[in-house]
Structure 1
């Protein structure tokens, strides 16, 4: 693609290292051979929304090679072609995308009208995709192979935003009257979802009409196994070929050469309920923050497979450390005399319950009385967003939704944020995030993002605990697994055994 210098803005907005093995483990390109067997995969998180493309299930569909958007993120965090082969910015609010020739899995063509319909449904979805938090967009056909996407306000990172799994393009058949969307046989990826079995299994077959060429594997049999030890056991016994997110305690038991570790943009944090309960008081939040020793978590719980929490953004974003600002003006820690709190987390990532237990000990040593509640993720996040807990331990890939560091701040820490587990509503934070959102120059946008991060940390609504690395278990016979620091991809057309 050739773009004018000013139109390549989004390509430089996220500068991350090109990690060894990132997006590759063997040849990632399909050879056109149809001889590959079926892949057996164990994933950590079961579908919680009947494979809706707008919520957390969108990432499952992306990891399994079912869905695609107009763009994707490359290994350097830049927007690269997917269903759109090129694009250009027409003005501050309007972008023109030129589509490649492609077909949906139901046999219909990917047309400008179909893409406009898909983006319009995503923009109107309730709840909407996290990538569109605070963004209003419209889409319309603009010629034989072109789609015009317009935002209500200038959005310099729109090509990055459209890479989000939550903005996947489905055929017209997918969309129902009540705003729901069905990805079964209506997406564009190399694998077609054919059957979802009761939330614990899914069956995918190769899509022979994929624009990128015939996938090596004939299909994928996915199992959703929340227990990390069970996922590792399934790999060891040969029941699966790939087990994602192997618990650190299980890594030594894997066969030599089967553990694939990579740095990610995932941060494990303690989110404090700022709207109600004890942590509505800034001094009590400061007391909790002061009580926590993150080095214990990185060294003991994660056994060295994580770094101490420094902020919302971790070391996988190499530019962040040099631009980080000290959060000044924090509240003084209040005295705590038996203040009772409920601390919740989920067990899909097996380290999190152990993190919660360590935090319980540290907080009780500081004077809190702590009750810990652990559930499966799909059964607890709704209650956390509703403010039913005083504190919540969660692991969040800060680049997952859009690839833009500012967008995660808007989603997670502003008054109107769609994933605001801390229930934070601070006008100064909102202003800092709004300033960052309006900044176009890449370096200046990074500066503004870090200024907003400092403003958020000043509230003590979140306590960054560790920045995680992730380990996937992959059988030695398997090639082409996509090792993605953004955790959007895992199975691609070149994945085979």
Structure 2
């Protein structure tokens, strides 16, 4: 097969970037040979470096979860329903939920998991500023009923408390993690692997925790390198420098053996957020003009090489019920752009986004806009995006990452007081629809309310969903049972090992 020149050039560059990618990380463990893979550590190349020193109160929490080092009271099954983790059972009485804490669990520093530890972790999250986004709009208090039982009370009756508590941002850590103003997860989790070393934004190391309550892991440890360059990550798999590679760019998939990659439809939408608070797109008719100018199908074919799905809404094929319930959306008529200048921001951490930005620039200019692009690393652009410094922002956004339920994502991104409201949207009808969705009990009624909230958002053109991504994960041929999780919560588990 003949490869495009950009693929070949990227591969050549990656060979330079990869020199010493896992230098200093031994593939051999110190284990006693007591099980599958005991002699080999799992080498992982991850996409985004830590943004907040691996604080569980940030998106870094999902790294802790994917490394199986920090755990929550509840976890989710494949359908998004709550099931036991550090809590064994729970029940609701009005605004209060009671959780029974699992017996026999110890933190990595040897201290015992008890109700006091749960109260400490959850209260820290609930009173943080900003709060973890899973708690957007939620007032939550936690108390110890006895050493093995906690109660969680919300200001309003909340049918999704168990699902909220499954978010990795609400992980339960030992007391040692909470010193000063930061939360340090090193040696403070309960999972099968103990986080032992973090080298800034370069690497991390984890060793097997043999006293894990769920049974001994099959691998003696994990060595992580943060490799933002997607070409370098893919090359690490080809060269044998990495065992598991997170988020292989579409442009690199053709260079890899098909047997080494797994493609999974993700609850992740590539969306153009339009600034409704100021600038050109404060005008709804110009937002409509931008929406009509976008040809998402050409972006899927040209940038994603067909490895994505054209969006019909904010929620994609990973949630099949969304398409079944969705109906037509009432929209504002478009106005002529007349040469108005807009600045679009995006980031380099996801390799396709700069190409998406270039495609959008062409499409919008063809429609009559003048377009400037501002492309940086995510860590250097997020604060400006949240402050509304751009006319538009391209974001690859997980829609059910936190609770397994999209209502939390919709609230975070589009409520007037949402913590991730890049569109600066403040719309009473949207707020009302989001509130109704959040307060509806689990099941069909909630799904319908969620779709109604999606329709309310789409009717404002504050966000133009373009495509739904599929994640491409690379696993070396000798890797056994790496997780392929569409919610991006699991990667290396107790069952994962290298032959």
Both proteins in one fold, TM over 0.5:
yes
SS in 1 for 2:379: helix
Mapped pair 1:39 → 2:42? yes
Q: Which moved more, 1:447-456 or 1:142-151?
A: 142-151
Taking the aligned partners of 2:405 and 2:97, their CA distance within structure 1 comes to: 17
CA distances 1:199-253 after superposition (whole Å, capped 9, x unpaired): 1211111112211111111111111111111100011111110111101111111
Q: Secondary structure at the match of 1:374?
A: strand
The separation in 1 between residues aligned to 2:39 and 2:280, in whole angstroms, is 57
Aligned-partner Cα distance in 2 for 1:424–1:351: 26
Out of 153, 157, 169, which is 2:156 matched to? 153
In structure 2, what is the equivalent of residue 377 of structure 1? 378
Match of 2:83 in 1: 80
Q: Distance in 1 between matches of 2:282 and 2:485?
A: 37
Instruction: Give the SS at the match of 1:223.
Output: strand
In structure 2, the residue matched to 1:247 is 249
Displacement of 1:288 in angstroms is 0.4
Of the three residues 139, 143, 153, the one matched with 2:146 is 143
Q: Which residue of 2 aligns with 1:270?
A: 272
Which residue matches 1:473?
A: 474
Are 2:170 and 1:167 equivalent residues in the alignment? yes
Question: Mapping of 1:45-84 within 5 angstroms?
Answer: 45-84=48-87
Task: Provide the residue aligned with 2:338 in structure 1.
Answer: 337
Which of residues 299, 302, 305 in structure 2 aligns to 1:300?
A: 302
Q: Across the two proteins, how many residue pairs are aligned to each other?
A: 464
Following the alignment from structure 1 to structure 2, what is the Cα–Cα distance between the partners of residues 251 and 149?
45
- The runs of 5 or more residues in structure 1 that have no matched partner are 1-30
Deviation at 1:32, TM superposition (A): 6.0
Q: Can you give the 5+ residue segments of structure 2 that lack an aligned partner in the other structure?
A: 1-33
Structure 1: how far apart are the matches of 2:66 and 2:424?
29
Report what 1:125 is aligned to: 128
- 1:346 equivalenced with 2:347 (yes/no): yes
Instruction: Give the superposition deviation at 1:77.
Output: 1.4
CA-atom RMSD, angstroms? 1.2
1:14 paired residue number: none
Displacement of 1:131: 0.6
Distance (whole Å) between structure 1 residues aligned to residue 422 and residue 39 of structure 2: 43
Match of 1:99 in 2: 101
For the 8 Å contact 1:33–1:215, the answer to whether it is kept is no
Residues 439-483 of structure 1: CA deviation (Å, up to 9, x unaligned): 115111111110110000000000000011111010010011111
Give the superposition deviation at 1:143.
2.3
User: Which has the higher relative contact order, 1 or 2, with Cα contacts under 8 A spaced 6 or more apart?
Assistant: 1
Report the Cα distance in structure 1 between the residues aligned to 2:65 and 2:379, rounded to whole angstroms.
18
Distance in 2 (alpha carbons) for counterparts of 1:301 and 1:81: 41
Map of 1:322 onto structure 2: 324
Distance 2:442 2:219 in 1: 42
Residues in 2 aligned to 1:370 and 1:189: alpha-carbon distance in whole angstroms: 48
Which residue number in structure 2 is paired with residue 214 of structure 1? Answer: 216
Q: Is the 8 A contact 2:53 2:200 kept in 1?
A: no
- The aligned residue for residue 204 of structure 1 is 206
Q: Are the equivalent residues in 1 in contact too, given 2:160–2:442 (CA < 8 A)?
A: no
Contact 1:36–1:216 (CA<8 Å) still a contact in 2?
no
Structure-2 separation of matches of 1:62 and 1:202: 14
SS at match of 1:142: strand
Shifted more, 391-400 versus 31-40: the winner is 31-40
For 2:395 and 2:149, locate their aligned partners in 1 and report how far apart those are by CA, in whole Å.
40
Spell out, residue by residue over 1:292-338, the C-alpha distance to the aligned partner (whole angstroms, 9 max, x if none).
0111112221111111011110011011101113211x221111111
